[in-house]
Structure 1
Amino acid sequence: MNKFKTLTIGCVIAACALSSASTVMAAEYWRWKGADGVIHYGSTPPKGVEAEKVVTYGGVSKSANTNTNSQTNGDTAEDTEPKVELTPEMQALKKERCEEERKRLAVFEKPGRIRMKQADGSTKYLSVEEIQKEIATTKQVIADTCN
């Protein structure tokens, strides 16, 4: 049972890392043809060159979203995401996960050394920096899951 819990926590951390990485990668990119005929891509095209905006998929950062809203003259109806209704079973799983993450946070916030089981089966004592990183990740998971 303890291995399952460790594996679950590891998967949650990996999922958070991957989901945040996709939002970082979704930005404005431009495509243009250079003087030598080669097609170039970049976040800002050079001046005096006809560039085409490349459509990217993924999340948009809040600052980019603010710029988009100001360009659309305040039309926010398209920017809001529809709310998804959860089934009672999914709500129970979400509540259980929330409680597990709160317990995990309580463990990390207690004074003392913390050891964590690694993927290869060995155990490792976490440094203060690693504990702080785990606390930040757990707080983010709680914010995403429990609200």
Structure 2
Amino acid sequence: MLGTLSMARGRLLAGCIAASLCLAATAQEGSYYKWTDASGTVHFSATPPPGQKAEALKLQGQEGEQAAPAPPAPATEPTAQLEEAQAAYRKNACDAARNDLGLLEKNHMIVSGDSPDAATKLDAEQRNQAKLRAKQRITQFCGTGTKP
């Protein structure tokens, strides 16, 4: 009984391997061949076996056919929750830009850098560039109907 079970498993395994080879073969271009060896095992390969008769397989989609490209996904309308999140983001960015511009225009000492130990004082040119960027952000985020 154990021998019968092993043979059934072996046949199942051989069938799974053959099916996998067939599926893998469809992804490749060219001709494929099927043959049975002396022990009755069925083989599939891209090259015919030397000295044995093999059946040439015709795979679907190999005669210059190409699958049609998938249609583009339809555009979806933004949800109310997304629009609320975008509005909150624009408001926060607008407030931050206005705050930055206010500080830059008061000529307070401004430092740049992530760490207080590595911070450097802005010179006049850097201050002017920072003012320009703050004004651009105000235009971008504080204007009516603009999106980030």
Bin of the TM-score, shorter chain as denominator length? 0.3 to 0.5
Q: TM-score, normalised by structure 1?
A: 0.38
Q: TM-score, normalised by structure 2?
A: 0.38
Larger relative contact order (Cα-Cα within 8 Å, sequence gap ≥ 6):
1
